[in-house]
Amino acid sequence: MTIEYLGFKEAMDYLGIKSHKTLNKYIAEGLPVIEVSKSKKISKTAIDKFMKDHEVITTSQENI
C-alpha cells in the first residue's frame, strides 16, 4: 500500500528538510495543505508538483 497523504513530519522527511520553519515557508510559497478537522496533511503529488514548479536551472557561471 502506498501512502499518498503525509503528516507534517513525514512531509519534512520526504522533502529532506529538518526545520518546521522551512516547511512553513514552502506552505507560504504555495505548497497546498489539506485540512480535515484538526488534521493537516500534505499529498506527495502536491509536494512533487511544488518542487517541479520551483525548479531553477543554473549555469556553471551562476554557481561561482
- What is the Cα Rg of the chain in Å? 14
- The pLDDT, as a whole number, for residue 24 is 97
Over the stretch 8-33, which tens digit does the pLDDT of each residue have?
A: 999 999 999 999 999 999 999 999 99
* pTM higher than the cut 0.85: no
- Dihedral through CA 14, CA 58, CA 32, CA 6, nearest 10? 0
Cβ 47 vs Cβ 11: under 8 Å? yes
**Strand 5-6 relative to strand 39-43, pairing:** antiparallel
